[in-house]
Amino acid sequence: MMDAKPAKSAIFRFKWFALVMLLLTLAPFFLSDFRLNLFGKFLTFAIVALGIDLIWGYAGILSLGHGVYFGLGAYCMGAYLKLQAEDLPDFMGWSGLTELPRFWKPFYHAWFALPMTLLIPMLFALLIGFPTFRARIKGVYFSILTQALALIFVTLFIGQQPYTGGTNGITNLQNIFGFSLAEPATMRGLYAVTVLMLGIAYLLCHWLTHTQLGKVLVAIRDGENRLRFLGYNPALFKVLVFAISAGLAGLAGALFVPQVGIISPSMMGILPSVEMAIWVAVGGRGTLKGAVIGAVLVSAAKSYFSENFPELWLYFLGVLFISFVLLFPQGIMGFWQKGRFEWATFILRWREKRFARSSSPNGLPRKCH
């Protein structure tokens, strides 16, 4: 199917991408500062969703603890920004530390901290993924494990207040690369960077899924044992794609912190991680566009509900979970790509049956054309 496209539409294949990127770039002219800031946050969520779509939509691995990698990237960025603001972070002072701990010192430098926002989550993903996938732990067992890991990390980060800020997390950030975080211009700049990163992440995922690797991932999802019989080692691929998705989550976290101004262990926990999975489920698994759409839509809905109908938000989220799992398992994109034809066919057939019964002269069904 993929190879059958004529060369001409190579340009057109990316027309939607270009259009969306254009719209995103123009958004600062339409949205107020407050809304733009929120939208930037949604776009960082979209980056996480891309990573989750890679492992869940394509490789069939459901991680319910991806908040950990998001948080790790965010904490790295937070540490860097904090050290720009204060020599000794305030939470260290309240906790009785008088000197910056050794492992905090390198985060003063951007050339260390920024790559770390990608590398540290990827490293943890490798550490966790390699033995787990090698032991062939998969399916729901893996998902439960990721939840336990999320709990572990949250507890660790909360408990080490002198080193991580405890439940407060890292807050009270001043500026980034010299630009004050209080200025709307900085926020717009951060938004632009987020849009750029989202575009790059999307292209990266698109490329990955259209190469041989993408086919292997789908094979893992649909028939892992057969893949094994063909000579591939699924564990290696799973670890690779898990690490990539963790890196994406870390990148998203790093973009999240300066825009929202705070990172706390609550963003690493189980509830945010499960919400990340639902973004992909709503948008459509296995279609990268779906991940982006799902993340933005669900997060926007959450903001809307918590502002206007805070009581109803959890009902809405619960119903969303149930309906998109049962009724629209392909999600929005899936519905657009496949489901609408199925629905259309279903409706046409139903109408034909009704029409046939009432208009047929001798009560027999009409012939189909």
Partner 1 sequence: MGIETLLSQIFNGLSLSSVLLLVGLGLSITFGIMGVINFAHGEFLMVGAYVVYVLQTLFNKLYGHGASGVSFLISIPLSFFVAALLGFSLEKVLIRFLYGRPYEGILATWGCSLILQQAARNIFGANNVDVTSPKWLAGGVEAMPGLQLPYNRLFILALTTLCVVGIYLYLYRTAQGRRMRAVMQNRDMSACLGIRTRKVDTFTFALGSGLAGIAGCAVSLLGSIGPSTGQNYIIDAFMVVVLGGTGRLAGTIAGALVMGVLNPVFELISTSSMGKVILFILVILFLQGKPQGLFSLKTRALD
Partner 2 sequence: MLKVKSRTFILSIFIIAVVVGVGSAWINDARSAEKEPIKVGILHSLSGTMSISEVAVKDGELLAIEEINARGGVLGRKIVPIIEDGASDWPTFAEKAKKLIMKDKVAVVFGCWTSASRKAVLPVFEKYDHLLFYPVQYEGLEASKNIIYTGATANQQIMPGVTWLLKNGHKKFYLLGSDYVFPRTCNLIVKAQLKAEGGTLVGEEYTPLGHTEYSTVISKIKAAKPDVVFNSLNGDSNVAFFKQLRSAGITAKDIPTMSVSIAEDEIRGIGAENMLDHLAVWNYFMSMDTPENKKFVAAYKARYGKDRVTDDPIEANYFGVYLWAKAVEKAGTPAPLKVRAAVRGLKFKAPEGEVTVDPTNNHVWKIVQVGKVKPDGQFDIIWSSGKPVAPDPFPSLVSNKIVLEPGKIVDRKK
Residue closer to partner 1 (CB basis): 56 or 107 = 56
Q: Which does 346 bind (CB under 5 to 8 A by kind): partner 1, partner 2, none?
A: none
Residue closer to partner 1 (CB basis): 179 or 328 = 328
CB 268 within 8 A of CB 157: yes
**347 vs 353: CA distance, rounded Å:** 10
Residue closest to 212 by CA, chosen among 58, 63, 334: 58
Which of 147, 175, 266, 337 is in the footprint of partner 2 by CB under 8 A?
266
Binding mask 9-28 for partner 2 (x = CB under 8 A): x--x--x---x---x-----
CB 123 within 8 A of CB 250: no
What is the total residue count of the chain?
A: 369
Q: Which does 267 bind (CB under 5 to 8 A by kind): partner 1, partner 2, none?
A: partner 2
Site stretch for partner 2 (CB under 8 A), options 44-52, 128-136, 153-161, 322-330? 153-161
Task: Determine which helix (DSSP H) or strand (DSSP E) holds 316, and give its type and residue range.
Answer: helix 313-326
Residue closest to 47 by CA, chosen among 99, 118, 152: 118
We find the least distance from the C-beta atom of residue 265 to partner 2, in angstroms, to be: 9
CB 54 within 8 A of CB 276: no
CB 273 within 8 A of CB 69: no
Residues 135-164 that bind partner 1 (CB under 8 A): 135-137, 139-141, 143-145, 147-149, 151-152, 155-156, 158-159
Which of 25, 147, 172, 175 is in the footprint of partner 2 by CB under 8 A?
172
CB neighbour list of residue 327: distance below 8 Å, 6 or more residues apart? none
Contacting residues toward partner 1, per CB under 8 A: 56, 62, 64, 131-132, 134-137, 139-141, 143-145, 147-149, 151-152, 155-156, 158-159, 225, 270, 274, 277-278, 281, 311, 314-315, 317-322, 325-326, 329
